[in-house]
Amino acid sequence: MTIGLDAVRTALLDACPGVQVGDIRPLEAGYTSRQWVADTDEGQLLAKRPVRNPDPEHMRRLIAATRRAADAAVPVVRFRAFQPHSAVLGGPLLVQEFQAGTPADALWDGLDDAARRAFSAELGSIVARIHTSYGPWFGDVLGRETWDDVRSYLHARVDNQVAKARTLLPAGAVDRAAQALHNVIDLVVPVDEYPTLLHGDLWLPNILLRDGHIRCVLDFEHARWGDRFMDFAKLYEHIFDGYPDGVVPFLEAYDMQAGLPHDWEARVRFGKALHSLTTAVYFAKWNPEYVPQYLGELETWLATPN
């Protein structure tokens, strides 16, 4: 569906009655939505129309999780309006305040070692704030699907991904991964773990920098209440595997606010393995050329004693 700027203007006026809209321009950012920035008499607004997952519940989860993060002093966007179905745009419309800044991935290569270390430490502090926002259950932030304890929740997540993987990935690898993941849950994850807010998609494109500091954490679309170390997998894959010097300042800052238990490394290894399976399933649908990479990571984990 082609969406013109006049249609975006009409949709904005419908969602935000009384606002005066000036210039509108497309924003080329992200992979899951169409976005536009509008100059208005109330400041710049960002209009977002999801394309990969147009279910309004997905946007409601994003809003709810972002607001919980804001309560924990995490720098996030503020929302102005939400329409489950915009007749003009043919799907959900989310309007939020536009946050000026540059995605960290666009600046990363130009940062020197001192700046990268400072970024890693600041990120550790912010992730700790996210993870010290505690929830009432494990699972969906809106309470649509919940579990009382962490092991039941993680077993269910593994079963969910395995069920999807059986129709997309080699059966032998899936069966071995399923058994190993279930075993590790019972051996490694403590039964008394408390549900914490997970961002679910922590990587450089979702972190906005301005004046050398993190000014906004974006896109809590995959947030949930879960085991906090599940969030570490993508951080390692997209930041610290390529920049291991950032691990220590990140962990030191994180530990000061959220604490690192004695078993945190084993739980991170488990989180990486589940991330490899989940991402292989995801890319089998959207970018199948990446699937061998994540299957290879899963095979490496299976071959390494935990």
pLDDT band at 173 (very low <50, low <70, confident <90, very high): confident
User: How does DSSP assign 19-38, residue by residue?
Assistant: PPEEEEEE----SSEEEEEE
Range 171-198 average pLDDT:
93
Q: Domain spanning 5-97 has what CATH number?
A: 3.30.200.20
pLDDT single digits (tens) 273-293: 999 999 999 898 888 999 999
pLDDT of amino acid 30? 64
Distance between CA 43 and CA 240 in Å, rounded?
36
Cβ neighbour number for residue 280 with a 10 Å cutoff: 27
pLDDT of amino acid 166? 87
pLDDT of amino acid 306? 61
**120, 249 contact by CB (below 8 A):** yes
pLDDT band at 136 (very low <50, low <70, confident <90, very high): very high
Phi/psi class of residue 195: alpha, beta or left (left: φ > 0; alpha: ψ in -120 to 50)? Answer: beta
Question: At residue 230, does pLDDT exceed 70?
Answer: yes
> Which tokens hold the place of 80?
């102005």
pLDDT of amino acid 185? 97
**Average pLDDT score over the chain:** 94
**CATH class of this structure's domain 102-303:** alpha beta
> Which tokens hold the place of 29?
């950012």
pLDDT single digits (tens) 64-116: 999 999 999 999 999 999 999 999 999 999 999 999 899 999 999 999 999 99
Q: In angstroms, what is the C-alpha Rg of the chain?
A: 20
Cα 147–Cα 150–Cα 152 angle in degrees, nearest 5? 60
> Which tokens hold the place of 210?
């301005």
pLDDT band at 167 (very low <50, low <70, confident <90, very high): confident
Question: At residue 17, does pLDDT exceed 90?
Answer: yes
Residues with Cβ within 8 Å of 204's Cβ and at least 6 positions away in sequence, in order, are 103, 104, 105, 108, 238, 239
Nearest alpha carbon to residue 182 among 291, 280, 274: 274
Distance between CA 128 and CA 126 in Å, rounded?
5
**37, 24 contact by CB (below 8 A):** yes
pLDDT band at 51 (very low <50, low <70, confident <90, very high): confident
Question: What is residue 176's three-state secondary structure?
Answer: helix
Question: At residue 119, does pLDDT exceed 90?
Answer: yes
Per CATH, 5-97 and 102-303 having the same topology is answered no
Question: At residue 297, does pLDDT exceed 70?
Answer: yes
Spell out the domain ranges in the chain. Answer: 5-97, 102-303
Work out the end-to-end distance of the chain between its first and last CA atoms, rounded to an integer number of angstroms: 48
Range 171-187 average pLDDT:
91
